[in-house]
Chains A and B, each alone.
Chain A
Amino acid sequence: MSRTNEVSITVNGERYDETIPNRMLLVDFIREHIGLTGTHVGCTYEGACGACTVHLDGAAVKSCLMLAVQADGHDVTTVEGLANDDGLSPLQQAFNDQHGLQCGYCTAGILMNMTDFLREHPDPSEDEIRRALIGNLCRCTGYVHIVRAVKAAAAVGTK
């Protein structure tokens, strides 16, 4: 009966060598085990809301649909890892400028997904942005300002 495993997971550049239960979800590892609470949980088991989206080796994934042990040996980036010493990332800044958030609960997941998306599509159309957002539910904004913010960030990036 082991029930636990040793893992080595790098989160926002910091390596965590830990022994954790096999069943621990990655999102709980991030939020509760190491205390980075910017990543949120909005559904039960279905993984449909996207609030828990993080980067796994740079790609946006839902951290509630993974076990933490599956991230052993990988790089995880959370919303806390987006800003750097120079301040907010262009996308974070655009969300502020364009009022792309209200309650902020879904925001971390959207920022993580859209950061990955803009890396793949530096100059997206509105249609592409809206389709890329399907995995993130937002209840407050009606998405209008979110789409505007992603466009604005793309414009900064493509300058």
Chain B
Amino acid sequence: MFPAEIEHYFRPQSVGEIHKLLANYPEGDATLIAGGQSLMQAIKSRMLRPVCLIDLQDVADLQGIDNANGLTIGAMTRYAVIAGYDEIPVAYAAIRDAASHVGDRQVRNRGTIGGSVCWNYVASCMPTVVLGTNGCLRISGADGEVREVAADDFFFGPFETACGEDEILLSVSWPTPSGKSGSAYKKWGLATDALPVVGMCVSLSLDGGNICNDARVAIAGLADGGQLVTAGGAALLGFDGNPEAIGPVTAAVIDSVECQSDHWASAVYREQLIRNLGAEVIERAYQRATAAQP
């Protein structure tokens, strides 16, 4: 209910300063806090007992959205800022779809994209859309070197990512969209905007004839956490917007994932959610792509 003792609290101003602080503590003792909307739950329930808490709110380099070359969203950018940013290319509109429906207003005013992807909660929207849109995660290593990790290599499983405890996620970025591309995300939960029982992200690119020539599908809410469904992307190749063609795509997704039954929904219902949500997001992503300026 109340946090256990926290020996030290720091509010560094720069990435370099964060590294210096991290170096002072044995692995696991120091914890970075971004928006804290999940982390504070863990700290209050004493699932986590950080000796040192390093608050990232003042690190200017981690803030903001840059739309100049592709899209870069600083790790400390809050959901509300992403949701309110209308310059996001339609290729990555799924990011905004997701950010607009995380939790509630208060959570969106505080929670950050970086916090969410690093926490990688088992039922979570942002990791899934970063996977589904093939985001690139820039990580500052303990040695100060910055490395780039593709989404495919970043998410290991629930609560596990490629970002080490002595590392700092700087941003998530996407290249300038090539050709006509669009994406969309939608989730279904027990209540409006609740955690996803199933969430579906689709991003696709179209050729001159509006035929899909590249696609990714990612799914949230399954027992293994947010995951890319390669078979889904493959099944979308050649998709021409014909609604009849959507069924086989969602069938391919269902075939290649394992849906669990739990208190929130049975496995067969999750499969139905994949069909329903899949149809919606495929259609929306396709429409967005056709409307995109190449």
Say yes or no: B6 contacts A23, CB within 8 Å: yes
Say yes or no: A23 contacts B4, CB within 8 Å: yes
Among the stretches B15-23, B61-69, B102-110, B125-133, the one at the interface with A is B102-110
A24 to B243, CA, bound (A): 54
Instruction: Identify which of B9, B44, B57, B192 gathers the most chain A CB atoms within 10 Å of its CB.
Output: B9
The verdict on B190 contacting chain A, using a C-beta distance below 8 Å, is: no
CB contact under 8 A between A2 and B106, given known A44-B1, A44-B45, A70-B55: no
Contact mask for chain B residues 10-53; partner A; CB cutoff 8 A; 1 contact, 0 none: 01000000000000000000000100110011001100000001
Instruction: Identify which of A25, A67, A69 gathers the most chain B CB atoms within 10 Å of its CB.
Output: A67
Q: Which residue of chain B has the shortest Cβ distance to A23 in the bound complex?
A: B3
Among the stretches A76-84, A127-135, A148-156, the one at the interface with B is A127-135
Count of residues in A whose CB is under 8 Å from the partner chain: 35
Contacts of A2 in B (CB 8 A): 7-8
Say yes or no: B2 contacts A50, CB within 8 Å: no
Tell me the number of A-to-B contacts counted with CB atoms below 8 Å: 98
Contacts of B193 in A (CB 8 A): 131, 134
Contact mask for chain B residues 124-158; partner A; CB cutoff 8 A; 1 contact, 0 none: 00000000000000000000000000000000000
Partner of A45, one of B6, B11, B36, B41: B41
Contacts of A29 in B (CB 8 A): none
Contact mask for chain A residues 107-127; partner B; CB cutoff 8 A; 1 contact, 0 none: 000000100110000000000
- Least Cβ distance of A141 to chain B in Å? 17
Contacts of B80 in A (CB 8 A): 59
- Least Cβ distance of B175 to chain A in Å? 32
Say yes or no: B4 contacts A60, CB within 8 Å: no
The verdict on A75 contacting chain B, using a C-beta distance below 8 Å, is: no
Say yes or no: A72 contacts B110, CB within 8 Å: no
CB contact under 8 A between A65 and B8, given known A59-B80, A60-B106: no
Say yes or no: A134 contacts B11, CB within 8 Å: no
Say yes or no: B192 contacts A131, CB within 8 Å: yes
Say yes or no: B104 contacts A3, CB within 8 Å: no
A118 to B103, CA, bound (A): 19
Contacts of B55 in A (CB 8 A): 69-70
The verdict on A92 contacting chain B, using a C-beta distance below 8 Å, is: no
Contacts of A104 in B (CB 8 A): none
Partner of B9, one of A5, A66, A117: A5
Say yes or no: B105 contacts A22, CB within 8 Å: no
The verdict on B5 contacting chain A, using a C-beta distance below 8 Å, is: yes
A59 to B110, CA, bound (A): 9
The verdict on A103 contacting chain B, using a C-beta distance below 8 Å, is: no
Say yes or no: A65 contacts B45, CB within 8 Å: no
Within 8 A of B (CB), among A20-64: 21-23, 25, 28, 44-47, 50, 53, 56, 59-62, 64
A2 to B8, CA, bound (A): 6
Given contacts A67-B36, A116-B109, 5 further A-B contacts (CB under 8 A): A22-B7, A23-B5, A59-B109, A65-B37, A65-B40
- A-B complex: 10 closest residue pairs judged by Cβ atoms: A135-B104, A45-B44, A22-B6, A23-B3, A45-B45, A134-B104, A22-B9, A65-B40, A59-B109, A135-B106
Q: Which residues of A contact B (CB under 8 A)?
A: 1-3, 5, 21-23, 25, 28, 44-47, 50, 53, 56, 59-62, 64-67, 69-70, 72, 113, 116-117, 131-132, 134-136
* 17 CB-based A-B contacts, threshold 8 Å: A3-B6, A21-B5, A21-B6, A23-B4, A25-B2, A50-B104, A59-B109, A59-B110, A65-B40, A66-B36, A67-B9, A67-B53, A69-B9, A70-B36, A70-B55, A135-B104, A135-B107
